[in-house]
A and B are shown apart, each in its own frame.
Chain A
């Protein structure tokens, strides 16, 4: 069995790189004494699998990792024991026990929801959204293995709208194509003709291809 864990990565934890987060989670699981499976070999470690690494600087409200179990344990027990040892702003919010054969979250992931909270120019940005979305192409430069090349952001944006004093967007996040929320924001600012203000970005959900959260509805 494996446990799918929904956890937050909020506040100052948004500064942790993916490796730092992995280490922190591994150590938390070790402290918790939960029955997890270690790899064999000289340097045994926990094989955690994260649905999608989060860029440094972006917060996560419902991030997902999967933990291989050596024994079955109830979801509630797992959650309680893990939260006993996780630091503030990194708490686990849900745990879902799954058969090993359930496809990994990473493979099921198709999109993610983000909330963008700019420090200023909100009105201008909001006004620019319809025009921004009606563009046929939104070219951006992507640095890949083969150097920098131009790609189109438009088909990767599933939704973008204003809500309160924030912008909410659903972006493609899969092996077929991924749009970065910070990139979307700078593109939108460029379109609106303003220098990008500081903007706090929070990823709020990881979705499968039916736009249902990976942890289930």
Chain B
């Protein structure tokens, strides 16, 4: 950025909300010299506060910057006032560290955390001076990469992204950067470098494949156009988390992030096999970090950041094999340093309770439980191994020890759900209330608050419910109304959301390449920051579908046949389609599948050598 532009930016920053979103300069920010390095800008397609809560960004930021030949900076989605200002002032979207335009990097890497951030990606490319469509990028343009959970069905973004990374990024990102750096140095053209990228395990280069469709819109065939393009693309796995890089000194934001604390990833993967849960299928096998390593990481992080709070991250913290040692150890180490440990609501067993009993260091935020469905039958359908008895016992114990605030999370619109299951939610809420009143006055905290939240189920690819139809908007609204009246219980608050966002999520979660046209049209129509209620323009999205001649119901509300070729079948996540179908059949019969730590359920992961003992 030249001096004049810098001055215009300074003046602009004085006029926007929360300017520190755009200034960088945090403690532990890493600024490297650009000379001779292959450069990457990590792009988070949501606001600074959301981005700075995201662990994955911090992991890659530090691990890339630890390499002498590589460099990583950051950029986030600007808010609307800043977008307008940047345009007015002719300032390109720039990285926080060196304030260079996105177009100046060798690689720009987006993380795909939720479908509703896709329009932001297009906006960031536009503002950063990068052609939106990959075919329009010239030799000097950055390679636009995307990873994260939504990259496992990359197709709706295929025309915009040069290469996707499916799976763990700790080492793969460095390899991609090096392939780009080496390719550029050797004078290779873009197409050749893309072919090199496709050789890296976990990388999917959409332009090397072609999709054809049946007349009715279903995918007919998906074929590699080049012999260098693997099919299926095998996901990338970091086998040993103790060997994988983890940040020890993370940038500390000035303006408060959504989760403004140290986050320790204690474990990756989950074996419980909840049938609605995509992460549970995507991130197998279960891998743990050892308590010793976690203690060491935590000490370095506390010293480097000065954070006053720490939390543990995993898909199911209660399953971490040495949880008691871990929590005790963390408490011992950080009690004196006044770092509080916030734990998710676990089925806290007695031993753990004792360990925590007089440590004020464990934060007593409200009790949060996720039974997900209202009846045992439906919980069996979704394979959520929570029984009513367990739940009520946990709640009773909590009430007895002075809690008065319980949050219960449910989904509505689950496959095979009936009205009886919905009424079961109200039933369960009433039983929770009764547990509270069963504790004698004086022994219970005053002011009971039970919050029941019901989100709209979105069938996700690579889950046993990938074949299922999402309920129509009318049906969801009917169910919400039914619940609303059933949940008219004293002490209970009911939270729900308009289902339109979930409907669009369902379209994009299981979308094919053609949906890119809808995305582009929606972007043209001004859709932006769709994850923010105040900016979500449902009508514009529907307009985009109409204008492109595609039917959202085809994607969201259609039940698929067992053998239909799915757009995401291009990826091999380890878990097989056969296994997913078997789980789908079991769901239909409300048959549970036990946690596979108790015995292998044959999900398919053993096909990957050395990944799971089975």
Contacts and interface: CB of A to CB of B under 8 A. Distances in A.
Contacts of B19: 12, 15
A28 interface: yes
Interface string A83-122: 0010111000000000000000000000000000000000
Interface centre among A20, A29, A30, A198 (most CB of B within 10 A): A30
Interface stretch (B304-312, B382-390, B473-481): B304-312
Interface in B320-356: 337-338, 340
A13 B337 CA distance: 27
B486 interface: no
A21 B20 CA distance: 11
Interface residues of A, number: 28
B340 to A, nearest CB: 7
A45 B338 CA distance: 8
Contacts of A30: 306-308, 337-338
Contacts of B254: 13, 16, 20-21, 23-24
Interface in A11-68: 11-13, 15-17, 19-21, 23-24, 26-31, 38, 42-45, 57
B303 A20 contact: no
A88 B308 contact: no
Contacts of B20: 12, 15-16, 20
A31 B13 contact: no
A13 B304 CA distance: 20
Nearest to A15: B19
B13 A45 contact: no
Nearest to A12: B23
Interface in B228-274: 252, 254-256
A186 to B, nearest CB: 14
B27 interface: yes
B14 interface: yes
B25 A31 contact: no
B26 interface: yes
A15 B13 contact: yes
A87 B27 contact: yes
A216 to B, nearest CB: 29
Contacts of B255: 16-17, 20
Interface centre among A15, A24, A85 (most CB of B within 10 A): A15
A27 B306 contact: yes
Given A20-B254, A20-B256, A28 B14 contact: no
Interface in B544-592: none
A63 to B, nearest CB: 15
Contacts of B14: 57, 198
Interface centre among B13, B338, B360 (most CB of A within 10 A): B338
Nearest to A16: B254
B11 interface: yes
Interface centre among B11, B25, B26 (most CB of A within 10 A): B25
B128 to A, nearest CB: 21
Nearest to B14: A57
8 contacts: A12-B19, A12-B20, A19-B256, A20-B256, A21-B254, A26-B306, A27-B27, A31-B303
Given A15-B20, A28-B27, A31-B303, 16 more contacts: A12-B19, A12-B20, A15-B19, A15-B23, A16-B254, A24-B27, A24-B252, A27-B308, A29-B306, A30-B306, A30-B307, A31-B27, A38-B338, A43-B340, A85-B27, A87-B27
Interface of A: 11-13, 15-17, 19-21, 23-24, 26-31, 38, 42-45, 57, 85, 87-89, 198
Interface of B: 11, 13-14, 19-20, 23-27, 252, 254-256, 303-308, 337-338, 340, 360
A-B interface, 6 closest residue pairs, ranked by CB to CB distance from nearest:
A27-B306, A30-B306, A15-B19, A12-B23, A31-B306, A20-B254
